[in-house]
Chain A
């Protein structure tokens, strides 16, 4: 299945992917409003690591054998049998952070929704053909590919 892969050698840590992710997952779809007025303020589901000269943007791999799914206490995390994507149902989430502990890529973050702690991670932008981070990256340092 197609997921987002970073190409480390091309990343310049411009953080545009993070901004695009926040915007895509905001209510207003406007980066400024999303940052300044939305409550809770959306957080990016990809994270740019920057240790000059190296930089890389990392998000969920939608693993074949997802350890987050195996660790989840109550089935909030599941594999979509049709798309293969690993989905996270925030309405169900307990905020127990078993998934944060288990994910070998460290890509599940802690978030607050309706005053409840919930897990947050990349959903591959279900409403778009190409995820927002990939589309925005000026250096093609993120690619959307099926590497089987």
Chain B
């Protein structure tokens, strides 16, 4: 095997899986990872729990301290890539240093969307996607005599941040533009239940409106004004209306973008030798069979793994990403997998619902195949549905059993069961 130079931009979920995949197949090549953040790989998706002190440093690091040494990786941390020169096969860093590569992977994740809001410039305004963001917000809140926060955006990250703040004794109001929270993961009924539960635990939620301006007196945040005219007093504003693929530095490189960096089913961009994975990449969506950004951990890691393997010359195809998430607020669990929202009766969709007391479950079928599952307050063995969706198996014959609490492999066709249970995983 030729001696290759691999460069990976981004030191997070996708980057780590790419490193592990490269080393599995290529023991010799040079691997360099560049990250704008100074940290060893960490659990970005747990920064809200770090902020309120539920977890400490030891639970934040994604891999052992000797991970880079064991995988013989050179790290360039605390340096941002500012450009890519594909003709020279080099990336340019913010100190003008250039790093050459034979194979490059871009896994720079997402950056918070920050629309222009009157009065937003200045202290008291925060975003919430990095470990440093969590530390800065925590330190700020601790300095406030009567901490009052407005969180703009009722998506997963906004709500998790809000819960973290609440645990720290902050008075929190969430402002969500849509009619209900978690619009991407839940249907209306489930969202209303989550919302009620959050309210019961002391969070205030305003839907159907957004923040028009941030008011300041002598530069200090005193409150926000909403589109509907309402005014809220606060000293802290967290902007969390979503993230977009972090692609700015690719400008001029010739790398093709749509919403994110477009990749083929080997995770390669339009330029040979340059790959992309994770929240920055736009790859095949398993259900809808079209390109999309699916900004979740299992997608980032799987893409990183496929990209890493292909960078070594091994040929692996990406099976497509499936949106899914598990989350809990104040101790109650919800899991949402696949399509639980879009239902068009004219296109073969059908929904099955079980709504009993605390438990709400919904299965969505399309032409007899499972395409989505939503479950609140009962998630035992929920991963089995993941394999049923992936198998694109007709389950119309077992519709009446699919949502029962003891649903399992014995309800499924023998062929499928054999495939799953008698072969290596």
**Which residues of A pack against B, CB within 8 Å?**
3, 5-6, 8, 47, 49-51, 54-56, 58, 61-67, 69-75, 92, 94-98, 100-110, 147-148
B298 touches A94 (CB 8 A): no
CB-nearest residue of chain A to B337: A101
The number of residue pairs between A and B whose CB atoms lie closer than 8 Å in the complex comes to: 134
How long is the Cα–Cα vector from A103 to B410 in the complex, in angstroms?
A: 17
CB-nearest residue of chain B to A60: B425
Asked if B247 is an interface residue, CB under 8 A from chain A, the answer is no
B62 touches A106 (CB 8 A): no
Please provide the chain B residues from 392 to 425 with a CB less than 8 Å away from any CB of chain A in the complex: 406, 408-411, 417, 420-425
The one of A47, A55, A73 in contact with B43, judged by C-beta atoms closer than 8 angstroms, is: A73
Residues of A contacting B381 with CB < 8 Å? 47, 100, 106-107
Asked if B177 is an interface residue, CB under 8 A from chain A, the answer is no
A/B interface sample: 5 pairs, CB < 8 A: A49-B409, A75-B61, A100-B335, A106-B408, A147-B422
How long is the Cα–Cα vector from A114 to B277 in the complex, in angstroms?
A: 37
Chain B, residues 316-358, CB within 8 Å of chain A (1/0): the string is 0000000011111000010101000000000000000000000
CB-nearest residue of chain B to A101: B326
Residues of B contacting A8 with CB < 8 Å? 417, 421
How long is the Cα–Cα vector from A102 to B337 in the complex, in angstroms?
A: 9
Q: What is the distance, in angstroms, from A5's C-beta to the closest C-beta of chain B?
A: 6
Interface size for B (C-beta < 8 A) is 46
How long is the Cα–Cα vector from A141 to B383 in the complex, in angstroms?
A: 24
Q: What is the distance, in angstroms, from A35's C-beta to the closest C-beta of chain B?
A: 20
Asked if B302 is an interface residue, CB under 8 A from chain A, the answer is yes
B424 touches A94 (CB 8 A): no
Q: What is the distance, in angstroms, from B330's C-beta to the closest C-beta of chain A?
A: 13
On whether A75 and B421 interact (CB within 8 A), knowing A98-B297, A101-B337, A102-B298, the answer reads no
Residues of A contacting B326 with CB < 8 Å? 96-98, 100-101
B297 touches A100 (CB 8 A): no
On whether A104 and B328 interact (CB within 8 A), knowing A51-B410, A61-B424, the answer reads no
Chain B, residues 29-66, CB within 8 Å of chain A (1/0): the string is 00000000000000101100100000100111111000
CB-nearest residue of chain B to A72: B297
A110 touches B386 (CB 8 A): no
On whether A97 and B420 interact (CB within 8 A), knowing A70-B17, A73-B45, A102-B386, the answer reads no
How long is the Cα–Cα vector from A59 to B204 in the complex, in angstroms?
A: 42
A101 touches B383 (CB 8 A): yes
Q: Most A CB atoms within 10 A — which of B45, B58, B326, B406?
A: B326
A58 touches B409 (CB 8 A): yes
B298 touches A97 (CB 8 A): no
Asked if B301 is an interface residue, CB under 8 A from chain A, the answer is yes
B305 touches A70 (CB 8 A): yes
CB-nearest residue of chain B to A81: B70
Q: What is the distance, in angstroms, from A71's C-beta to the closest C-beta of chain B?
A: 4
A94 touches B408 (CB 8 A): no
How long is the Cα–Cα vector from A49 to B390 in the complex, in angstroms?
A: 22
A62 touches B61 (CB 8 A): no
Residues of B contacting A65 with CB < 8 Å? 305
Which 3 pairs between the two chains have the least Cβ-Cβ distance?
A: A61-B425, A106-B381, A63-B425
Asked if B384 is an interface residue, CB under 8 A from chain A, the answer is yes
Asked if B228 is an interface residue, CB under 8 A from chain A, the answer is no
Residues of B contacting A49 with CB < 8 Å? 406, 408-410
A71 touches B301 (CB 8 A): yes
A105 touches B62 (CB 8 A): no
B422 touches A5 (CB 8 A): yes
On whether A92 and B297 interact (CB within 8 A), knowing A62-B425, A106-B383, the answer reads no
How long is the Cα–Cα vector from A47 to B298 in the complex, in angstroms?
A: 25
How long is the Cα–Cα vector from A94 to B56 in the complex, in angstroms?
A: 11
Q: What is the distance, in angstroms, from A25's C-beta to the closest C-beta of chain B?
A: 19
CB-nearest residue of chain B to A52: B410
The one of A62, A74, A104 in contact with B387, judged by C-beta atoms closer than 8 angstroms, is: A104
Residues of A contacting B76 with CB < 8 Å? none
How long is the Cα–Cα vector from A8 to B409 in the complex, in angstroms?
A: 11
Residues of A contacting B298 with CB < 8 Å? 67, 70-71, 98, 102
On whether A100 and B46 interact (CB within 8 A), knowing A3-B424, A58-B421, A94-B59, the answer reads no
The one of A71, A73, A105, A148 in contact with B384, judged by C-beta atoms closer than 8 angstroms, is: A105
B383 touches A73 (CB 8 A): no
On whether A147 and B410 interact (CB within 8 A), knowing A73-B297, A75-B61, A100-B379, the answer reads no
